[in-house]
Amino acid sequence: MRVMVIVKASKESEAGMLPSPELIAKMGKYNEELHKAGILLAADGLQSSAMGKRVKFGDGKRIVTDGPFAETKELIAGFWLWRVNSMDEAVEWLKRAPFDGGAEIEIRRLFELEDFAPSQAVDRGREMKKELSQKA
């Protein structure tokens, strides 16, 4: 199963502060362990919400709002995508992450095409997934 490991934003990340060189080194080592274990599918940090936009959909309208966005606790600073055998395995790997200082990290399972009833849209999703994997 695939999971997204969501790193929540902080006042520091929203201020555009980069992690310390020490934390970057620890995170690099941790990511290398994930890679060697065959779990890591992707990992990236996000620019602060000041660099982002939100699009609200309703009544046929699209309303675009420029960042920054006020609620830091609801924002994401980065993520990993992992392939694991269970949620318990994901939790055990995350416990090894070099976070401290009250960081709260969320793990969420991704939907797989097999989770949906057979349909033309699901079949096309499989085709697109295959095409994307060939580009990578």
Q: What is the mean pLDDT of residues 99-106?
A: 88
Structure tokens at 4: 């997204």
**Domain of residue 84, residue span:** 2-135
pLDDT mean over 84-101: 95
Distances (CA, A) of 71 to 17, 21, 37, 132: 17, 27, 35, 34
pLDDT reported for residue 127: 94
Residues above pLDDT 90, as percent of the chain: 83
Q: What is the pLDDT of residues 122-133, one digit of tens each?
A: 999 999 989 998
- Peptide bond connecting 21 to the previous residue in cis, omega within 30 degrees of 0: no
Give the pLDDT confidence of 15-67 residue by residue, as tens digits.
Answer: 999 989 999 999 999 999 999 999 999 999 999 999 999 999 999 999 999 99
CATH assignment at residue 128 = 3.30.70.1060
Indicate the pTM of the whole model: 0.88
Return the H-helix or E-strand segment holding 82.
strand 76-83
The pLDDT value given to residue 112: 93
- Of 2, 6, 1, nearest to 80 by C-alpha is 6
* Mean pLDDT (whole number) for 73-90: 95
Q: How high is the pLDDT of residue 73? A: 74
Q: What is the residue-averaged pLDDT of the chain?
A: 93
User: How many domains are there within the chain?
Assistant: 1
